[in-house]
Amino acid sequence: MKDIRIGNKNYEVIIDNIVNWMNEKVGGAGCAGGVVGLSGGIDSSVVAVLCKKAFGDNCMGLIMPCHSSESDFEDAKLVAEHLGMKYELVDLTSTFDAMTKVLDKDFDLNKQKTLEIMNLKPRLRMTALYYYANKLNYFVIGTGNKSEILMGYFTKYGDGGVDMEPMGDLTKTDVYEVARILGVPDKIIDRVPSAGLYYGQTDEVEMGITYKELDHIIECLEEGKLDGCDNSKVKFVESTIKKMKHKSNPPPACQLGK
């Protein structure tokens, strides 16, 4: 692998450390490998490569369309075949339709932008991932990155319901650099980031800030150097991180007598 440094970051070492950590955690739990959901996006693609490096043939990708675009399926399949990774197609469209009819008799797809409906898709995918994980004695490998985890840009008990987050200390900017080093296809890298929860949805519009701005602010906050940062955007990021801590922290337990 080529030794590439961005600033003071040695991505070769970072990748090796992540792979070793994945092996240590999965092996320490007595599990045999990992299962990852493949969306066709850059995050899941990078994690798929890391899984292959860590577990070899003891990993599986799940492609789980749910009123998804054909391009999502094709890109996810491209990644799996590019890596030589075993994968299963689990079409959750009819399951989603049945669930929404039970919960909301008046539901139609024009209402899919509501929070309660959007969150159903990742929660159904989490259920499918754990089915295969339990069946194969695998870990469910998360695809979240530091930028999205801090901002709470994930579904609690959906794509946030995993056994590990290999990219939890990588910003989205880092993920792009790692993707290039790992040989993720350009078609995947060039995609507009989207959770794919409804047609036309994009991450940056939904978060209200670009990844470039967000990652710069995160770095400045960590270093305690906010000179030159947009004060209103810094306040927005800080307040969002504070509000969203409940999503990544364990559920609080009442401590009687304390």
Q: Identify the residue with better confidence: 119 or 7.
A: 119
The answer to whether residue 254 scores a pLDDT higher than 50 is: yes
CB atoms within 10 A of CB 223: 8
Per DSSP, the three-state class of 79 is helix
Question: Which residue, 17, 25, 24, 15, is CA-closest to 46?
Answer: 15
Q: How confident is the model at residue 4 (pLDDT cuts 50, 70, 90)?
A: very low
Over residues 83-117, the pLDDT tens digits come to 999 999 999 999 999 999 899 888 777 666 788 88
Lowest average pLDDT, out of 106-115, 189-198, 223-232, goes to: 106-115
Intra-chain end-to-end CA distance of the chain, in Å: 53
Q: So where are the chain's domains?
A: 5-203
| Strand pairing report for 59-63 and 138-140 | unpaired
- Specify the pLDDT at position 197: 74
Mean pLDDT over 173-177 rounds to 97
Task: To the nearest 10°, report the CA torsion of 217, 218, 221, 226.
Answer: -10
Separation in Å, CA 232 to CA 146, 208, 209: 21, 12, 11
Average pLDDT of the chain, as a whole number: 92
In percent, the amount of the chain with pLDDT more than 90 equals 79
Predicted TM-score (pTM) of the model is: 0.92
Give domain 5-203's CATH architecture. Answer: 3-Layer(aba) Sandwich (3.40)
Over residues 108-122, the pLDDT tens digits come to 776 667 888 889 999
The answer to whether 139 and 25 have CB atoms below 8 angstroms apart is yes
